[in-house]
Amino acid sequence: MRYLFAFLHHVSQYSDENMMQPYNLAVCFGPSLLRGLDSDDAVAQQPQVNDLVKTMILQHDGIYPGQSELPGPVYEKHMTLEQEYW
């Protein structure tokens, strides 16, 4: 989860180009990441789920512990140069 939300935060930083602001990402990923116990109530709970996932995207650094506190993969931002393929 730490890796995923760090990646989604990185994606949201390019929202001018990809149109994926934190809220839009939350709308796309929220229903898959968080589900209530009662499937009939999923539509009514969707605004709260979207807000929670958006907050998790924006505040991922404060929510999830760092590598020293919790071992596991950590998302690191890096850009690659575009390569021409022959």
Over the stretch 27-64, which tens digit does the pLDDT of each residue have?
999 999 988 777 667 788 899 999 999 999 999 999 99
Domain range enclosing 54: 1-63
- 3-class DSSP state of 80: coil
Q: Is 21 part of any domain?
A: yes
Structural contact between residues 56 and 75, judged by C-beta atoms closer than 8 angstroms: no
Q: Is 54 part of any domain?
A: yes
CA 56-12-61 angle, to 5 degrees, is 40
Q: Is 55 part of any domain?
A: yes
Structure tokens that stand for 21 in this block = 């602001």
Examine the pLDDT at 21 and tell me if it is beyond 60.
yes
Structure tokens that stand for 7 in this block = 């990646």
Look at the chain and report how many structural domains it folds into: 1
Q: Is 84 part of any domain?
A: no
Examine the pLDDT at 85 and tell me if it is beyond 60.
no
Q: Is 74 part of any domain?
A: no
| Mean pLDDT, the chain, integer | 87
What is the per-residue pLDDT for 84?
A: 56
CA 58 to CA 61: how far, in whole Å? 8
Going by pLDDT thresholds of 50, 70 and 90, the confidence category of residue 11 is very high
Q: Is 76 part of any domain?
A: no
Mean pLDDT across 61-86: 78
Q: Is 78 part of any domain?
A: no
